[in-house]
Every structure is written in C-alpha cells, then in structure tokens.
Amino acid sequence: MRRIVPFILLLFLAILQATLLNRLSILGIKPDLLLILVIFIGLYKGPISGAWCGFLAGILLDLFSPVSLGTNAFSKTVLGFLAGVVAPLLYFKAPLTQGLLLFIGMFLEGMILFILLSSFYLTPPFRHCFLYIILPASLYTSLLTPLLFYVFKRITPIRNTSNETKVW
Amino acid sequence: MKKKVFVLVLLILIALFFLLSKKRGTKLEEGLTTIIYLPVKVLARAPSGPKEVPVQGKERFLLEVEEENKRLRRLLDLKEHSIYEGLVSSVIAREPSNWFHALLLDRGEKWGVEKNSVVITPKGLAGRVIKANKNSSQVLLITDPGSEIGALVQRSRIQGVIQGKGKYLILKYLPLGADVREGDLVITSGLEGGLFPKGLAIGRVKKIEPPHPQDLFLKIVVIPEVNLSSLEEVLVLKTQ
C-alpha cells in the first residue's frame, strides 16, 4: 500500500502546483514542489527511481502547460537521475545541503528549460529569464525544501538511504 | 550501471520524441488530460463553504455566493450585448511553471471552443485559446511574451502592436512623436486576419519611455484593463 504513496503524492503535488499554489506566489513566482519531490526520490532512492519520478512529474506538468508534451519530462528526468548519481557523494540530511541542492537543481532546470523553450517558443531574453524567473524561483524553492523533505520523509516508504530500494 | 544508463536514455528518448513531434491532442494525451483534469474540475466546482456552519460562516458563504452571482451576471450581460456568440467558462487551473502566462478553462471542443477562440471579460480582452481539448482548453493570456496583438490608441487611432511582458504590456511600433498620452485606452485593431475582433479594450497607457537617439519607435508601457491574476470566469467567443 505504501508503495503507491509516491504516485499519489506526485498527482497531489501536480494539482496543487496548478491550482492553489498561485496563492503562494511572490511577485508572480511560484516554487516547484514537484522538483523537490523528484530530487528527494533521486537522493533517497537512486538514479533510476529519480529518473522515473522526474519523467512522470514532468509529463503531469506538461499536461497543465501550453508547452509540448515532453518539455518538463526531459528536464526533470535528467535532474532526478543526477540527484541519484550525486547522492552517495553527499551528506544530504542537513537542511542547508537540501536547500543548496534544490537551488542548484532549479538553476540547472531553468537553464535546460530556457534552451528548450527558446528553441520552440517566443521567450524573453536570457537576462530577463535569469533575473526574473530562474533566480527567484530557485531561491523560493530552496527555502521550502527542508520543510517538504521532512514531510516527504514522513509519508513516503523510505527506510534506509542505501541506493536503489525500488519504489516504482 | 548499464541498467541505470539504459533507463535514463530510454526516458530521455521518449521525452524527446514527444517534444520533437510537437503533436498535441493525440488520443493518449486526450485520455491523460481527461483523467488528470477531473480532480481539478471537482476541486474548482466544490462549494465555497460548508452547508452546516455557524451564522458568521453562513454570512461569509452567502457573501461569496453573492459575489459569484454578480460576476456571472456581468458576464451574461456582456454575452447578451455582444455581437459575437459566447460561452461562459470557469478558470480551473493556471500554468504551473513560471515560464508562461496561461489558464485552463473547464470548457472545450464539446462546447464549441476552438483554437484561437478569443477570451474576454466584461472589462476587456484576456487572451486566446491556444489548445482546445475535448473537455477543457488552454488560454494564453495577453501578458505572455508570446502574445502579440494588433492594437490602436482609441483617442488618436494610431496603430501598433501590443506584446505581453509578464505583468504589463508593451505597445510597439508607434512612430516617434505619435499622439499618445498617459491614460489613453488601447483597443484591438482587428488587423491580424480577424483573430481578435476590433474594439476590445486591452489596457491603458501607463508610461511613455523617453526615446534614445537611435530609437525609431516609441516604447509605451500599457497596464491590462483586466486583472488577469484573479480571473475566475470568462467569456469565450466562438470563432467566426
């Protein structure tokens, strides 16, 4: 039963991201709750679970978004995998490390998305995207990370931090 | 390690396949959106207050219903007085990322909504439908950088193009010395192949930036007439 918790959590967070989260936006900037979950799964469950979680989270976001299906799926798959790869090299139980990891994750995702979106859509110049989207969203998301990591740890089936305990 | 790389490559290839095919509206996507949007629609249509509540709570609930009633009445009024056929639709979700300015409506092809249908409110233009699913549709707001609309200054009839800039709009291609003043109303010119009907209010001129010596055109900041961050119901005009 607890194995389906991450799936339910993914769906719940995707709906939250597209509906009520707008009320939490500061100057029009929203945190990326799904990326926090993707990095969390990547860190605690390894690269394969991280990549799968990233792929599913991305597809869900793409369904709510006007972008082509696969845009967020691509960026989040890469980040989920990377989180799993770097996990053995880091002590990620400290809130500061968690926040820092999410800041880097959001930053990298912002870069990937900018390249993808500017190839297919009309986007503002890089400087504008960097200063008004990527940087503030990275900061906002990283600030929420320790709290959400704590919540995720309480409700997802994580018993040890060794690599590749299958959840999917 | 081989298994990890295989999974990563496989998932990336699937994502890239979707991305590069750029083909939205497939049966798979239609099925997925129907399932995913269902809880969102239920959430959006849930009553705003409980049925058995103390008097104070009931008052608040009644006020909320009254407000909703007023908004819907204004939309119906607009629908009756409009020369275009329209459909009242509720906003059920917003673009989840920070990259686009878009909305999700609870009406789709089943109700006659099509791609490029114009979305308005009693105060003016909100955006246009960029994707119509069977039971829902996505609207690109006028504040999105990808939105460009033929516009004119109502008072002086000078024409330009309005482009979204996030929270505000920019009126482009107005020659230096054009007759524009702060507070002027900017409306649609109806010049982009009939996509937007002529005369819909877009916004008011907030600031005319002083031109640099090398500039050929004025740069004018326009504030949308419609408060796009708090839209709850809209009128979707049927494509002519």
Closest CA to B32 of B130, B133, B138: B133
Q: What is the CATH number of domain A2-155?
A: 1.10.1760
Tokens 């809209």 correspond to what residue?
Answer: B234
pLDDT in tens, B202-234: 999 999 988 888 888 898 999 999 998 888 889
Average pLDDT of chain B, as a whole number:
83
Q: B11: how many CB neighbours lie within 10 A of its CB?
A: 24
Interface test with A, best of B1, B8, B17, B161 (most A CBs within 10 A): B8
CA angle B12, B17, B19 (to 5 degrees): 90
Extents of the domains making up chain B: 55-142+228-237, 148-224
Residues of chain A positioned with their CB less than 8 A from the CB of B44:
19
Extents of the domains making up chain A: 2-155
**Poorest-pLDDT segment among A17-26, B73-82, B181-190:** B73-82
Contact check, Cβ <8 Å, B93/A19: yes
Global ipTM:
0.82
How much is the average pLDDT of A117-131?
A: 83
Residue A164 has, within 13 A of its CA and on its CB side, a CA count of 6
Question: Given this model, what pLDDT does residue B162 score?
Answer: 93
DSSP H helical segments within B46-187, as ranges?
55-81
Helix (H, G, I), strand (E, B) or coil at A90: coil
State whether residue A60 sits within 8 Å of chain B by CB.
Answer: yes
Contact check, Cβ <8 Å, A74/B15: yes
What are residue B235's phi and psi, to 5 degrees?
-115, 120
Residues of chain B positioned with their CB less than 8 A from the CB of A138:
none
Does position A168 have pLDDT exceeding 50, yes or no?
Answer: no
Residues of chain B positioned with their CB less than 8 A from the CB of A77:
8, 11-12, 15
Q: What is the CATH number of domain B55-142+228-237?
A: 2.40.10.340
Residues of chain B positioned with their CB less than 8 A from the CB of A32:
97
**Topology alike, domains B55-142+228-237 and B148-224:** yes
pLDDT > 70 fraction of chain A, expressed in percent and rounded: 92
Q: What is the CATH number of domain B148-224?
A: 2.40.10.350
Question: Given this model, what pLDDT does residue B24 score?
Answer: 57
pLDDT in tens, B171-182: 999 988 888 999
Q: What is the largest CA-CA distance in chain A?
A: 47
Contact check, Cβ <8 Å, A68/B24: yes
Is-above-0.95 flag for pTM? no
Residue A33 has, within 13 A of its CA and on its CB side, a CA count of 23
Contact check, Cβ <8 Å, B16/A70: yes
Q: Count how many pairs of residues, chain A against chain B, have C-beta atoms within 8 Å.
A: 134
Residues of chain B positioned with their CB less than 8 A from the CB of A63:
29, 32-33, 36-37
Distance of CA A72 to the CA centre of its chain: 10
Question: Given this model, what pLDDT does residue B50 score?
Answer: 46
